[in-house]
Chains A and B, each alone.
Chain A
Amino acid sequence: MDLFEILFWLLTIMAISCALGVVLSRNPVNSVLFLIATFFSISGHYILMNAQFLAIVNIIVYAGAIMVLFLFVIMLMNLNADVEPQKSRLVQFAGIISGGILFLVILAALRDARTHGTLEREATDIGLIKNLGKTLFQNYVLPFEISSVLFLSAMIGAIVIGKKESVHPVVSERNPHQN
């Protein structure tokens, strides 16, 4: 068992246990922190697979931008208390059972599939930014441009949805007792 395998198992155990922590922790702030730890371990897997650009982008975009947005919204709503009402035991049990059954079904389906490839240890350079940029701007220029339009529309949509409406201030007083 060399350093590569030790790192692989360490990152795998960290990813799965932190993902379980996301689901099981009562406090939403703890869930966000566990999810950030999960993203860091997935970035470690990317580095082990020689996808350095994606590892950096994963840390910057997911752990840096998206999770900070989640944390900001949770702090803004003042949800960092353990007051969340839980679903009934039956529904929780049904969720665990259905997720586990899906896991078993995919495992059973993959048992006979021809998935016997191996990942070579030696470093390849397809994950570097030079090769990815060449591939992106030679073969995938149109999706790149369309994603820019998607970003613009998402930005405008978020601003329009999140804008405080001052025309009907009565609507926000509908259920004041549920705070």
Chain B
Amino acid sequence: MPIQYYIFLSIALFCIGIMGTLMRRNAIIIFMCIELMLNAVNLLLVAFSKMFNDPSSQIFVFFIMVVAAAEVAVGLAIIVMMYRKVHSVDINILNRLKH
């Protein structure tokens, strides 16, 4: 299987994640699109690991998963806290830092 197929698949998933981040207003959906982008990068790292026969990049995928889990825990806590304050997860309302 040529490596280009995996590269194109990863780019497609990454760009779908970027489109979702730019299009949606729900903060939780934006979070999930960021997870989608992280998974696209993971897929590409595993493909290169298979191509070069090197286990190091699979270790990096493992660390990306660890960091994503920590990020999701803190980020969802922040979203729950903001929801408790303003009763919304709409990012057009959560723009206090602009003013």
Shortest Cβ gap from A156 to chain B (Å): 10
A interface footprint on B1-28 (CB within 8 Å = 1, 0 otherwise): 1111111110111011111111111101
A137 to B88, CA, bound (A): 45
Query: Is the pair A98, B87 in contact by a Cβ cutoff of 8 Å?
Result: no
Query: Is the pair A8, B5 in contact by a Cβ cutoff of 8 Å?
Result: yes
Q: Count of A residues near B, CB < 8 Å?
A: 89
Query: Is the pair A22, B33 in contact by a Cβ cutoff of 8 Å?
Result: yes
Query: Is the pair A147, B66 in contact by a Cβ cutoff of 8 Å?
Result: yes
Q: Count of B residues near A, CB < 8 Å?
A: 75
In the complex, whether A150 has a CB less than 8 A from a CB of chain B is: yes
Known interface pairs A38-B39, A42-B43. Does A119 touch B50 (Cβ–Cβ under 8 Å)?
Answer: yes
B interface footprint on A90-103 (CB within 8 Å = 1, 0 otherwise): 01101110111011
Known interface pairs A22-B33, A28-B29, A117-B3. Does A162 touch B81 (Cβ–Cβ under 8 Å)?
Answer: yes
Query: Is the pair A110, B1 in contact by a Cβ cutoff of 8 Å?
Result: no
Known interface pairs A85-B90, A91-B23, A107-B8. Does A16 touch B16 (Cβ–Cβ under 8 Å)?
Answer: yes
A65 to B16, CA, bound (A): 23
Query: Is the pair B15, A100 in contact by a Cβ cutoff of 8 Å?
Result: yes
Query: Is the pair A103, B2 in contact by a Cβ cutoff of 8 Å?
Result: no
A69 contacts which of B16, B51, B61, B76 (Cβ < 8 Å)? Answer: B76
In the complex, whether B84 has a CB less than 8 A from a CB of chain A is: yes
Query: Is the pair A73, B80 in contact by a Cβ cutoff of 8 Å?
Result: yes
A131 to B81, CA, bound (A): 42
Residue of B nearest to A159 (CB): B77
In the complex, whether B73 has a CB less than 8 A from a CB of chain A is: yes
Query: Is the pair B42, A42 in contact by a Cβ cutoff of 8 Å?
Result: yes
The 9 closest A-B pairs by CB, nearest first: A95-B22, A99-B19, A154-B70, A23-B20, A95-B23, A162-B77, A103-B15, A158-B77, A161-B77
A-B contacts, 21 of them at CB < 8 A, read A38-B13, A46-B46, A51-B58, A51-B61, A58-B42, A85-B92, A86-B25, A95-B22, A96-B23, A99-B15, A107-B11, A110-B11, A117-B51, A119-B1, A119-B47, A126-B49, A131-B55, A135-B55, A147-B66, A175-B88, A178-B86
- Chain A residues engaging chain B, CB cutoff 8 angstroms: 4-5, 8, 12, 15-16, 19-20, 22-23, 28, 31-32, 35, 38-39, 42, 45-46, 49-51, 53-54, 57-58, 61-62, 65-66, 69-70, 73-74, 76-77, 79, 84-87, 91-92, 94-96, 98-100, 102-103, 106-107, 110, 115-121, 124, 126-127, 131-132, 135-136, 139-140, 143, 147, 150-151, 154-155, 157-159, 161-162, 164, 171-172, 174-176, 178-179
